[in-house]
Amino acid sequence: MKDIEFFGNIKNCENFVNAVKEKDFLFSLVISYTSTSEIPGITIAGSNSELVKFTAPADAEFLHYGYCKSIKSIPMTPDGKPTPALITKSALESASIPLVVINAGSKVEPQLPFIQTGLKPGNNITQNFGLDEESFLHAIDYGRIIGRTLASLTDCLVIGESLPGGTTTALAVMRGLGIDAKVSSSIPKNPVELKNRIVTNALKKLDNDDPFNVVKAVGDPMIPTVAGMLSSASEISKVLLSGGTQMAAVLAFAKSIGYKSDNVAIGTTCYITNDTTANFLEIIKQIDDISILVVDPKLERSEFPGLKSFSEGFAKEGAGAGGSLIAAMLKAGLDSEKLLQLTENQYKRIFTSQ
Amino acid sequence: MKDIEFFGNIKNCENFVNAVKEKDFLFSLVISYTSTSEIPGITIAGSNSELVKFTAPADAEFLHYGYCKSIKSIPMTPDGKPTPALITKSALESASIPLVVINAGSKVEPQLPFIQTGLKPGNNITQNFGLDEESFLHAIDYGRIIGRTLASLTDCLVIGESLPGGTTTALAVMRGLGIDAKVSSSIPKNPVELKNRIVTNALKKLDNDDPFNVVKAVGDPMIPTVAGMLSSASEISKVLLSGGTQMAAVLAFAKSIGYKSDNVAIGTTCYITNDTTANFLEIIKQIDDISILVVDPKLERSEFPGLKSFSEGFAKEGAGAGGSLIAAMLKAGLDSEKLLQLTENQYKRIFTSQ
């Protein structure tokens, strides 16, 4: 595949790609919330702090309907750069990949049929444990059930997430697990100082690196849910974890509950792997010898500044954008040029119809 | 298939069966509620009237876990005859058919991951409209979305329901649509008088037979939801409506929103078609020239009175029992004898572990 680069376990990358080429894919979007996102400066996933709680359900609605119901516009940064769900939507549409939305603690319910877990939003990790014991175990249990069901309906389950502030909880979880992780963000001048301060502060309440304790103390509801999904789904089908540092945190935790690593790949954009404020490939290497598929969406070639900005470090990944591009390429043989064109059409449609 | 009899459009029955033989099936259980079930004497789906609201979620939990979470025992009639979900569970397990649960207005949420529609329970049709305008349209819309998604993940979508009191609303809907329907029930001495009185009474508020008005006035949330699912799913995959008179009401209403009839079959047990207090085959004939697949579960051969009672007119169908037996036969080549044995094992497991 000319537009997908292999990293990590290269041999497994080849096997993975060969096993799912032209096969059926199912895209699942796990939406969630952590009050950690309310810390000023942490996220720009939402044009103002009042809107952040709508970002995840609105991403889900956009993927589903092509427009949002919970908010008028699509989720954007304060200066008008659109959600990466725009890329995900084009990719899924172009290759007729079905979508299911899983509500794992979103503060607002999406206005579409979704898989309900009953999970509550996560707490601000600087003030509290991210998750109480019951929610944590519930998330893993329900994740396992959902993973088993979805994997039995496809050849390759793609798992993406939408969770504002999620890179901070991901960073905290990885640090808590002893992984030397720098972390990517939807903000181009990654607020490294702020995040490090929050994480260091949040980790003070931990007195050991037991993975269950770490995720409860400084994690969010998405991490144990997706880890549960990964654990059961990888026994049945291929699983493409679609995302950057947040999926790295999922993988890091999932090691403690188990998964079938031959069936697992992480798929993301080159904007994540090229991000020098983070160290994505090294993080994954520290966790497991696993397949990493990296796609170049070539958004720097776009005529639209709003799309070009992704390649310049804004919202480099999210809503499963990278993995959905990879899935579209593998299922339908599409290339970056074609997918860029479709994303531009999507962009034009949205910004001329509003 | 030696244990499946063809009725209705025989040619289409053959095509349907040949198209799905040894293919993938997905079983969906639509759980719902109507306050009509609170009328004394209407249903025995639940061992007392306080428990009736748990029947549908408990059926879902039993299919999923093999035991219930919302109630201690499995749903039963007041004299201890078990839910037909027992048969469904054996059939799905034996053929490794995956299950999804759709909550279309259950009064109690099931304790498992389920597809959430946001629908409210239906009203008592003798006191009120069964559904308000908004809920009715919402049910069709969401049904369509769910049907499209699920059908894209399988070769044959099986749709069952669990809705105590649902045969009464089904009867009212069919009568309102001008169909000469007598109706089956989970009670052996079918309380024909009571049902007729309720239906006649409920239909008084209708001044025309517009299908939308009829379902709003005297229907329940399951009917428009499953009609929506049928409508979109039948464009993509085969659809097996699994049930008796309630699925007849779905079909009767679905005619007004459209479906691809070549891809549709109704699947049920011979206890429904042999029920002389009802007229199932004639009802379907009045609605459409469609495939009807009828299975004989041979429960009269069971050593257990609780299972034998199904063949004697108790809970002749429900929780998709008939369709799931048909699906297991078509997918995995199982016959009635083998499935009876598995159901007996299931029965033994439950009644010795409690």
Which residues touch B14 (CB under 8 Å, ≥6 apart)? Answer: B6
Whether the CB of A118 is below 8 Å from some CB of chain B: the reply is: yes
DSSP string, B250-312: HHHHHTTT---GGGEEEEEEHHHHT-TTS-HHHHHHHH-S-EEEEE---GGG-S-HHHHHHHT
Say yes or no to pLDDT of A136 above 50: yes
Q: State residue B171's pLDDT score.
A: 94
**Mind telling me how many Å the CA of B138 is from chain A's nearest CA?**
10
Q: Is the dihedral of CA A116, A119, A121, A122 positive or negative?
A: negative
Residues of chain B with pLDDT under 70: 1, 44-48, 183-190, 315, 353-354
How far apart are alpha carbons B92 and A161 in whole angstroms? 31
State the best of B25, B112, B235, B331 to mutate against chain A, taking most chain A CBs within 10 Å. Answer: B112
How far apart are alpha carbons A118 and B293 in whole angstroms? 38
Query: What residues of B are in contact with residue A117 (Cβ under 8 Å)?
Result: 113
Whether the CB of B40 is below 8 Å from some CB of chain A: the reply is: no
How far apart are alpha carbons B297 and B295 in whole angstroms? 6
Chain A and chain B share a number of CB contacts under 8 A equal to 53
How far apart are alpha carbons A158 and A325 in whole angstroms? 11
Of residues B64, B116, B154, nearest to A113 (C-beta):
B116
Query: What residues of B are in contact with residue A26 (Cβ under 8 Å)?
Result: 153
Under an 8 A CB cutoff, do A64 and B145 touch? yes
What are the helix (H) ranges across A4-155?
Answer: 10-20, 52-65, 85-94, 133-151
Question: Phi, psi (5° rounding) for residue B133?
Answer: -50, -45
Nearest chain B residue to A225 by CA: give it.
B113
> Which candidate, A199, A200, A258, places its Cα nearest to that of A227?
A258
Whether the CB of B116 is below 8 Å from some CB of chain A: the reply is: yes
Q: State residue A135's pLDDT score.
A: 98
Under an 8 A CB cutoff, do B142 and A113 touch? yes
Say yes or no to pLDDT of A351 above 90: no
Q: State residue A50's pLDDT score.
A: 78
Mean pLDDT for chain A? Answer: 92
Under an 8 A CB cutoff, do A109 and B116 touch? yes
Let me know: does A293 contact A266? Beta carbons within 8 Å.
yes
Let me know: does A116 contact B116? Beta carbons within 8 Å.
yes
Average pLDDT over residues A32-41: 92
Q: Which tens digit of pLDDT belongs to each residue from A138-182?
A: 999 999 999 999 999 999 999 999 999 999 999 999 999 999 987
Say yes or no to pLDDT of A8 above 80: yes
Q: State residue B265's pLDDT score.
A: 98
Let me know: does A191 contact A273? Beta carbons within 8 Å.
no
Of residues B113, B117, B152, nearest to A145 (C-beta):
B113
Query: What residues of B are in contact with residue A118 (Cβ under 8 Å)?
Result: 109
Chain-centroid distance, C-alpha B112? 20
Under an 8 A CB cutoff, do A98 and B152 touch? yes
Q: State residue B354's pLDDT score.
A: 47
* Residues facing A68 on adjacent strands: none
Under an 8 A CB cutoff, do A116 and B112 touch? no
Beta-sheet pairing, A114-116 with B114-116: antiparallel
Let me know: does B186 contact B316? Beta carbons within 8 Å.
yes
Which residues touch A42 (CB under 8 Å, ≥6 apart)? Answer: A36, A165, A168, A191, A194, A195, A198
State the best of B149, B235, B236 to mutate against chain A, taking most chain A CBs within 10 Å. Answer: B149
Average pLDDT over residues A316-326: 92
> Which candidate, B219, B1, B26, B210, places its Cα nearest to that of B130?
B219
What's the half-sphere exposure (Cβ side, CA atoms, 13 Å) at A60? 28
Query: What tokens does A6 get?
Result: 């292999």
Of residues A99, A109, A146, nearest to B113 (C-beta):
A146
Beta-sheet pairing, A25-31 with A156-162: parallel
Whether the CB of A65 is below 8 Å from some CB of chain B: the reply is: no
Query: What tokens does B177 get?
Result: 């649509």
Whether the CB of B97 is below 8 Å from some CB of chain A: the reply is: no
How far apart are alpha carbons B294 and B300 in whole angstroms? 16
Query: What residues of B are in contact with residue A116 (Cβ under 8 Å)?
Result: 103, 109, 113-116
Of residues A64, A115, A153, nearest to B113 (C-beta):
A115
Nearest chain A residue to B101 by CA: give it.
A115
Cβ count within 10 A of residue B167: 28
Which residues touch A309 (CB under 8 Å, ≥6 apart)? Answer: A81, A315
Q: Is the dihedral of CA B325, B331, B332, B333 positive or negative?
A: positive
Query: What residues of B are in contact with residue A226 (Cβ under 8 Å)?
Result: none
Of residues A98, A112, A116, nearest to B114 (C-beta):
A116
Let me know: does A125 contact A198? Beta carbons within 8 Å.
yes
> Which candidate, B24, B18, B13, places its Cα nearest to that of B332?
B24
How far apart are alpha carbons B179 and B201 in whole angstroms? 17
Under an 8 A CB cutoff, do B103 and A116 touch? yes
Q: State residue A354's pLDDT score.
A: 47
Say yes or no to pLDDT of A190 above 70: no
What distances in angstroms separate CA A118 from CA A47, A141, A213, B318, B339, one per listed residue? 27, 12, 21, 27, 35
State the best of B27, B152, B229, B237 to mutate against chain A, taking most chain A CBs within 10 Å. Answer: B152
Specify which of A70-84, A179-193, A241-255, B32-46 reaches the highest per-range mean pLDDT. Answer: A241-255
What are the helix (H) ranges across chain A?
Answer: 10-20, 52-65, 85-94, 133-151, 166-176, 192-203, 211-218, 222-233, 245-254, 270-273, 280-287, 305-311, 321-332, 336-353
Q: State residue B46's pLDDT score.
A: 64
Nearest chain B residue to A146 by CA: give it.
B113
Of residues A96, A99, A117, nearest to B113 (C-beta):
A117
How far apart are alpha carbons B6 and A99 in whole angstroms? 36
Conformation bin of residue B188: beta by default, left when phi > 0, alpha when psi is -120 to 50 = alpha
Let me know: does A92 contact A99? Beta carbons within 8 Å.
yes
The reported pTM is 0.94
- A164-197 CB burial, b ≥16 within 10 A, e <16: bbbbbbbbbbbbbbebebbbbbbbbebbeebbee
Query: What tokens does A188 get?
Result: 């181009």
**Mind telling me how many Å the CA of A183 is from chain B's nearest CA?**
32
**Mind telling me how many Å the CA of A98 is from chain B's nearest CA?**
6
Whether the CB of B109 is below 8 Å from some CB of chain A: the reply is: yes
Cβ count within 10 A of residue B21: 14
Of residues B98, B112, B146, nearest to A113 (C-beta):
B146
Residues counted in chain B: 354
Q: State residue A47's pLDDT score.
A: 61
Say yes or no to pLDDT of A220 above 90: yes
The type of residue at A241 is L
Under an 8 A CB cutoff, do A64 and B146 touch? no
Of residues B64, B113, B152, nearest to A116 (C-beta):
B113
Say yes or no to pLDDT of A234 above 50: yes
How far apart are alpha carbons B269 and B271 in whole angstroms? 5
Residues counted in chain A: 354
Q: Is the dihedral of CA A269, A100, A15, A290 positive or negative?
A: positive
Whether the CB of B142 is below 8 Å from some CB of chain A: the reply is: yes
